[in-house]
Structure 1
Amino acid sequence: LALLPRPKVVVLDEPFNGLDMDGVQVVRNLVQRLRDSGKVVVISTHTLNELDFLADRSVAVHQGKLVELEFTRGELGASEAAYQRLQEGK
């Protein structure tokens, strides 16, 4: 993965697709280092469980609008459960 020198915002589109477990861990570590250094990291993904441990905030597109998903980082399945609540209208 190549980055410009000292970006303020990093956008990753489906960064976990097609990776083996070692590759997933490399991307996780990169995102954590960027986040911990104060960078904004925007991740577009269908793999919501990866957000459980990486995201401070998460949004979904629901009926054409961005909606924040409320979940606690570090709880496995939390972001997926938040998305299900959104789909069910709860």
Structure 2
Amino acid sequence: MTTLTVTAKGQVTLKKELLQHLGVKPGQKVEVDVAPGRRLTVKASERKSGWEEVYGILAGRTDKVATIEEMNEAIRKGWAGLK
């Protein structure tokens, strides 16, 4: 069993051996689930495909809904180097 210390900010740093066991590298995410008996389970988060990572990234940023024609025009202008 490994004992970790909680910082003043309420953070816990996983030791290198634990990260290696999970197969987690810097920048990757882990999932923590609450388990019975004041326990937590930690597992490596499954990596999403490129599309899943960007899908919805701009959701809620604007009230404007573009038509297909408007999107195609914006793409055409982008490829032509126009603004």
What interval of TM-score do these two structures reach, taking the shorter chain for normalisation? under 0.3
More strand by share: 1
Query: When the two structures are superposed, what TM-score results if normalisation uses the length of structure 1?
Result: 0.26
User: Which of the pair has more CA radius of gyration?
Assistant: 2
